[in-house]
Structure 1
């Protein structure tokens, strides 16, 4: 997937990328403390915008914002637990403060996880996944990588076929219901044929390259260096500290029957800072790399100007 900005974190070892996304996704789905959820959502949206630019903003406004609103409204309609009754619904069920707050929490968690997965798809390409798990689970890793690769390819090919059909007057957005259905079936038939042909070509290509033969080796451009070791050590320390803090009750928070959480203090605050540093790691690396790049460009331009002045003198 082509990225709009230069992502420094994507150039790290695949193991570093996978450990990072494994930690942030697991923590986003496990920790229900509102501060943790807010940190996760803000960091995920920030990283997604850095990777995808305006596309991420448009996706957030057109898809995730309606999902957030629907989730917030649906939870109190089906969940009536909680000790703080605000009013009663027309059905006679109580509307509680706890159910409303939990609806916001569930919506925040859902949006955060979706945002993290969008970042994961941009950073963890299929070749990285196969590199990590090709020897451990070769068949499953190959299938997953092919599926992840097939979805964007199918979407791109569908757009190509739709544009071609539109050029010959078979646009699915025009005509009656039966005409649009007939045009849609034509596009679907073309896409099914393309998928089957693509599967046959892939199988022939894999067979001709010796897939499945014993002793076959695979080329890889990835190697663990000192930079990757430092990043992996940072992720390990932060992850262990947060997990230990969670077991110690530093991130405790409940919503039923009443809202209650851990008392504010230095220890919970340190866990929040560590969690924010973990989630913001790619953004911090990218900002630092951009600053170094701008400094180099400024230095080069100044040296160029000095050389021009010296040549004139």
Structure 2
């Protein structure tokens, strides 16, 4: 069977449909299925490989399989509708956990993806709003895209996802990570199933990229507070041959609202020793994070170092 240009309806009795071939199926086309008494049937349509499978009973077994020769893999409209009635359109914001994106301020943009499932054959719209969230919320001056004002996303028939770019205004200020909420509202669909209620907001975190630059001097420095984070740079710039020891101390966070006891393993405060090996210029230590499922903002810790008794004078 061939339909030609434009919207075409391919119809037939279910028992005779099996094994038929369609040469030019497209998203504009539809399938009509009838029983032996000329009653139009509802059917669930699924494409597997080049096979268009039609299930008219809802048991997951196809009563007819048509071959699509042109490789079409998109959604299929059945004139009699799917079994169970018209589908609703369901909007979601793609996210890993509660974050739709985590980006550095200097990247200039955070990209979020809005998807829809269910009825993807009808035109649909949903509003997206960006606002500040958490203990350190993003403000309007931090963005180049609308803040607090809904932006309408329009899905064309067959379109299943839209990416939205949130423009970020970079600066040289040292500051904590900032959060914003992405909220969907006012869903609408031209389909008979209508839309479902939108999902809860998702978070986007913008990480400051100025602290590491400010702390990046190779010269020895006194402790400095940069946007609530204390930096200290003590390079191992003397004789690289002897092995030196330095104690590390991690006091409880001094920032109001930041919790410690259940977030770190072992609990804070803690102290230990870091060894800079012979010939080495750096060393590191690890603080294990205790995962949980609590929706919360970031926590801060403060790490300080002090030299051991065998540290050479002047270094």
TM-score by length of 1: 0.17
Q: Tell which structure's C-alpha radius of gyration is larger.
A: 2
Which structure has more helix as a fraction of its residues?
Answer: 1
TM-score by length of 2: 0.17
Which structure has more strand as a fraction of its residues?
Answer: 2
